[in-house]
Amino acid sequence: MRQRFSRPHGRLVALEGIDGAGKSTLARALVRTLRRRGFSVALRHEPSDPKLGSLAQSVSREDSWTGAVYFTVDRYLARPALERSLARHDVVVSDRSFYSTLAYQGSALSPRDRRRLQELERTATRVPDRVILLDIDPRLALRRLGGRARFRGPLEERKTLERVARAYRSLARDPRWLVLDARTSLPDLVRKAADHVAGRGSVPRALAAGRRR
């Protein structure tokens, strides 16, 4: 039987969660673990263009739709590089994806506009094959962010994070999502995330190619 990673492209895995959940820390550790398991892995972050991302964040406080569009433009411009990474690697781990925009900006929109935004996002970029949500109480997330209080973004406020956390939990009903308690120890988080990414029967493309010889 043909292995999953023998497809023309690798698997796109998105790490999601509100600010302070620990996504970046998990992303780096997950990449190291998957590489030790023999997978070719690339790591990417969103937004790809920091200036465009900063503009999107600042606009979002007053106009969620325009902020969402700026983030979508960033993903559209970054899509060629993402496709190249997926063609070269078994797994691409992305620190955030379009689900971040659906959770942050989308949760402030009407149901009709949320549907419009979701359609727009799906045409602009790739839909992740797997999503890992680090679930955390916004109060704890803010305590974790306390050390960078002077540098907090316009969306790092308690009311906003509570709304976004609810939106993430609603999105996580999709069976492709794995919800992890962000309070769990990093080694346990990495193990569970790596098992979810690899999936039963999946092997690195290099190993799969060797088996077919």
The full set of domain ranges for the chain reads: 4-212
Give pLDDT, residue 153: 62
pLDDT digits (tens, 9 = 90+) for 32-56: 999 999 999 999 999 999 999 999 9
Rounded CA-CA distance 16/181 in Å is: 12
pLDDT digits (tens, 9 = 90+) for 137-172: 999 999 888 855 555 566 778 889 999 999 999 999
Are residues 16 and 94 in contact, defined by beta-carbon separation less than 8 angstroms? no
Specify the pTM.
0.86
Are residues 167 and 107 in contact, defined by beta-carbon separation less than 8 angstroms? yes
The sheet carrying 130-135 orders its strands as: 41-45, 91-95, 11-16, 130-135, 177-181
Tokens in use for 159?
Answer: 């009311």
One of 3.40.50.300, 3.40.640.10, 3.20.20.70, 3.30.390.50 is the CATH number of 4-212, namely 3.40.50.300
Determine the residue type at 54: S
